[in-house]
Amino acid sequence: MKRNWELDELIEHFTFLPNEMQQIGDKSGETRIGFAVMFKFFQ
């Protein structure tokens, strides 16, 4: 994984879009954070 990120790269790769937030919002508790991390990892 890249070590030095520019701000615009961080925003592009790690910001959730509205439709992604809706999918994450369907989860609860620990499942929500786990799902969110895996979701971005596999994108």
User: Where in the chain are the domains?
Assistant: 7-42
pTM value is: 0.66
User: What is the model's pLDDT at position 43?
Assistant: 83
Contact 20, 39 (CB under 8 A): yes
Give the pLDDT of residue 2: 82
pLDDT, position 4: 94
pLDDT tens, position by position, 1-43: 789 999 999 998 889 999 999 989 888 888 999 999 999 889 8
Buried-exposed string 2-41: b where 16+ CB fall within 10 A, e elsewhere = eeeeeeeeeeeeeeeeeeeeeeeeeeeeeeeeeebeeeee
